[in-house]
Each structure stands twice: as structure tokens, then as C-alpha cells.
Amino acid sequence: MERQSRSAAFLVLEEFQPNAMIRPMIARRPFLKTLTLATAGLASRSLVAGPKQDFPIGACDWSIKAKHELAAFDTGSKIGLEGLQVSFSDPGTQLDLRERKVRDQYYKRSDETGIQIASLGMGVLNQKPLSTNPDSIKWVDQAIDVIAKMKKERPDKAPSVCLLAFFGKGDINGKPDLMKSVIRKLKTVAKKAEDNGAVFGIESLLSADDHLKVIDGVGSSSIQVYYDSANSARMGYNIYDEVVQIGGERICEVHCKENGALLGQGKIDFPRWKKCLTKAGFKGWLIIEGGMPKNAEVVQAYQENFKLLDRVFRK
């Protein structure tokens, strides 16, 4: 994808717009309940124990049309998801995880469905950029508090990763001053994140070289890359070489994504990508985002997407 504002804006709409899912695996549900309990707090192998099963598969709540909704667990059950990436926004939004009663609701639905809370996602930063909005770093700091509380309350349900989005108004690609601002701000929370086992994944339009500049600039294992297959491919980056260059220890999670097509039926060569991720040493969560042909039904599309990832990555 050419580096133009129009392209970046288009990506924003796809990035946190509900639209996707996976297959029913009713026969596997008892096994999945045990599995998901065992795979709590995946994210960074440098800070927490890795998943018991390589490449567990989940989806974003916004992709399955259930952003900030407990219905994401119900839809996820129909699909057969093993995990959910849950939206975390500014204070006062629906189902604000800063509130204990809300976290308890998530624990309950996770228990009932066997679906793990894989990670958090801060799409709000697309509209209220971390680089320029004075409140955004406060919300990042609050995300650390939430992760820390969840680890104490229900360590079997607590995520370790929180995605930080840099699209739309939050885009920092080709903007060195904004990159420096992000580095400076993340430095203020990095030690606290380390101390509480929290990992922030940068999802952006940056190249691997620039992602590493940000990571090295902060100088903390709590700041990593949240790699998105389709976003990077549309930017013209070689996604196969980039994940090896970045390294599995610095990739906290990945979005398995295709724009306008089911996974495996678009531009991304997922068998090749799997080989490269394995070479890089990454074995964490595969979070489906996108993979929706025009007019496709969410559950059916995500069932097919799940089948593709399950076959390519785990068989």
C-alpha cells in the first residue's frame, strides 16, 4: 500500500471496525476450557510463561461486531474461539474494565464459555493520539493498573498484552517528531509495566526498522510490536522478512488479517508466514481481524478463517 493519508485513513476504518470470526468447535469445548485456563497471560515470553499450546487462536471483539460488549463471548462460542482481544478505551465507556464489577462480568462470561481474555486493545488512540493527546498516556498507565488487578483477582483470566493503535489521527509513520514524543511518553510508564507484567504492543504503519527504533528508544521489554499481516503488506513491507528481523521475543501478538477476502484466499501467504514466525521464535496468540469478503456473514467467515489458521499453524 502506498504511503498516503488516504490509505492510512482507509486502514483505520478496517483496524477497529467490527467484522469477523471463527468456526464452532463444540466437540472441543471441554478441552478448550482447560486449554484457555492454562494459557492465561500469554503475550511476552520475556515476562510471562508462554502458552501451553503453540499458536492459540482468537479474534478482536470489534471485528466480530461486539466492541465493548459481553456478547463477544457468545459470538466467540459460535465460532469456536479460544480467546478474545477486548477493547479498552477512555474512562466512562460501556463495560469499562477499570471497574471491578465489569471485570467480574468478563470473568464470568469467560468461565461460562471457556474463552480466554487474550489481550486488551486501545483503538481509542486512533482518534486521541498517544503522541499529542495529554490524556492518552494516563489511559495507558491505567491499563497497567487494570492488568495488575486482573492478575491478582483472576490470574487464570488475566491478559498481559495491551495493543496500542497508531492509525488515523494517531499515525506516526514518517513523522520523526511524533515518534520521539511516543518514545518519551512510553518511557514514563515502561518500568511500571515491567513491574506488573504488562506488555504494550505497538500496532502501526511503521516499518520493522522504525518499530525497532521505537522499542530501542524506550529500552524496555514491556514495549513490543503488535504485528498485523495485512496492514504491513499494504504498506509494501515484506511481512515474511520483517517478523524475522523483529524477532519473536519482541512480537507480543499478531493480527492474522486479510482485507476483503477470507484468510488464505487473499494476498497473504499464511503457510509461508507461519514458517517465518516460527523461525523468529514466535508461538503466541493469533488474533483474527478482518478476513471478511464483501457481504459475508461474520460467524461463517470467521469459522473459515479459524479453519485456515488451525490447519496451517497447528497441523
| Domain extents in the chain | 5-314
Confidence band for 94, pLDDT divided at 50, 70 and 90: confident
Higher per-residue confidence, 1 vs 128 = 128
Cβ(129)–Cβ(170) below 8 Å:
yes
pLDDT of residue 236: 97
Average confidence (pLDDT) over 89-115: 96
pLDDT of residue 192: 98
Asked whether residue 39 carries a pLDDT value surpassing 90, the answer given is no
Q: What is the pLDDT of residues 238-293, one digit of tens each?
A: 999 999 999 999 999 999 999 999 999 999 999 999 999 999 999 999 999 999 99
Higher per-residue confidence, 235 vs 46 = 235
Instruction: Indicate the burial class of 210 (C-beta count within 10 angstroms; 0-12, 13-18, 19 or more).
Output: middle
pLDDT of residue 91: 94
Asked whether residue 43 carries a pLDDT value surpassing 90, the answer given is no
For the entire predicted model, the pTM comes to 0.84
**What phi and psi values does residue 138 have, to the nearest 5 degrees?**
-65, -40
Topology annotation, domain 5-314 = TIM Barrel (3.20.20)
Average confidence (pLDDT) over 38-63: 61
Confidence band for 177, pLDDT divided at 50, 70 and 90: very high
Residue 23 three-state SS = coil
Q: By percentage, how much of the chain surpasses pLDDT 90?
A: 82
pLDDT of residue 185: 98
- Mean per-residue pLDDT over the chain, rounded: 87
Average confidence (pLDDT) over 9-30: 37
pLDDT of residue 100: 97
Average confidence (pLDDT) over 147-158: 97
pLDDT of residue 53: 80
Q: Interior CA angle at 26 toward 32 and 76, to 5°? A: 70
**Residue 54 DSSP label:** S
Residue given cell 489458521 in the structure block: 309
Which range among 20-34, 74-88, 93-107, 228-242 shows the weakest confidence by mean pLDDT?
Answer: 20-34
Query: How far apart are alpha carbons 95 and 77 in whole angstroms?
Result: 20
Which range among 38-47, 156-165, 169-178, 268-277 shows the weakest confidence by mean pLDDT?
Answer: 38-47
List the one residue out of 235, 211, 206, 233 whose CA is nearest residue 224. Answer: 211
pLDDT of residue 52: 60
Higher per-residue confidence, 158 vs 25 = 158
